[in-house]
Amino acid sequence: MTSFPRTTNMCIEFLHQKLTRHVTPLLIIALSILLPQMASAGAWTLEKGHVWSKITVMSQATDQHYDAGGNAIDMPADARYQSQQVYFDIRYGVTDQIDLGLQIPYLSNKFVDKDESNDVATPPPALETESGLGDIRGFAKINLVNSADLVGTLKLGFKAPMGDYREVPEALSITGGQWDFDVVAQLGRSFYPVPVYANLDLGYRWRGEYKDSDPNPDRSYTPGDEIVFNAEAGYSPMDKLLVALKYEGIAGAEYDALSNPGQPETLSQSVSYLAPTVLVGVHPNVSLEALARMTVSGNRYFAGPTYAVGLSFAGNLIEKSVRQGTP
């Protein structure tokens, strides 16, 4: 989820930042088996030849946003923001210490009238809805510490734009139109034989320059770099069941954006979420996940919960291929 604020008319005054999809994209916990080793969570890496994949469907509908002072207030013009998102994630264990991963999103964003569920008359209908392929993210996880109960991993990631950022209205644009690069330190702890784990992520995101393809007027700018963080803990009260709680967010640096030609505006963004999560093992290799991602605080961000369900698969790709090739 990347933010690109621009103010252009009364209907979108509150939207100084577009939803951020980096904080990606929302990998809470996905396990091949619900045991304390936490094979697919946080700092833990996959075994060599193993693959983990997940499809997540997310939905948000809200009529509130955080203003520059961090207050959750109603949107102007009786607007209600609706977003449906589908994420496909895949990870592969190159070695026991190195994972490679990719995330591909499909997004659909729109504004409606919160009373009548009709499209908002302003901005024009052509700008009220946008859907399609969002920015793609990739990453590599390198495990550096792997003791009996403590795991330390370095995660290197990028976000590649899949199109041009669409300025009006900014929250509807499904692409940021610029590159991001992440460096994240991940620390995980298993409390085995107690079926509990904890994980902490702390990282830095370099935001690339957005180059306006239309030089008249030229609205190119570089969004502020961000601190990204995540703290989570999980507990398995019984076989095939995991409950987890995650606190995550971003804190962005100030930067100048051109709301109007020749009139720079200093902006910043921040948001934090609390996400209670339940995971159920429906098959030795398949897990079903449900979560509610609730905003705790923010600055120029949408307020309110996002609900999601996900289906994940984990298995040994090499072993399966060998078995299929054996007469």
- Report residue 230 as tokens: 């995540």
77-81, 242-246, 256-260: range with highest mean pLDDT: 242-246
Residue 128 is given by DSSP the state T
Nearest-angstrom CA–CA distance, 162 and 178 = 9
Q: Which CATH superfamily is domain 10-325 in?
A: monomeric porin ompg (2.40.160.40)
- Between 18-22, 43-47, 121-125, 294-298, the lowest mean confidence (pLDDT) is in 18-22
Q: Per DSSP, what are the bridge partners of residue 158?
A: 138, 181
200 or 322: which leads in pLDDT: 200
Cβ proximity of 235 and 277 under 8 Å? no
Res 6 pLDDT > 50 = no
Distances (CA, A) of 139 to 37, 102, 132, 182: 22, 7, 22, 9
| Sign of the four-CA dihedral 289, 129, 68, 221 | positive
Give the angle subtended at the CA of 16 by the CAs of 173 and 262, to the nearest 5°.
100
- Per-chain mean pLDDT for the chain: 79
326 or 266: which leads in pLDDT: 266
Q: Please write the tens of the pLDDT for every residue from 108-154.
A: 988 887 665 455 445 545 447 888 999 999 999 999 999 888 999 99
Q: Please write the tens of the pLDDT for every residue from 194-253.
A: 999 999 999 999 999 877 666 666 667 788 899 999 999 999 999 899 999 999 999 988
- Report residue 124 as tokens: 């024009």
CA 251 distance to own-chain centroid: 14
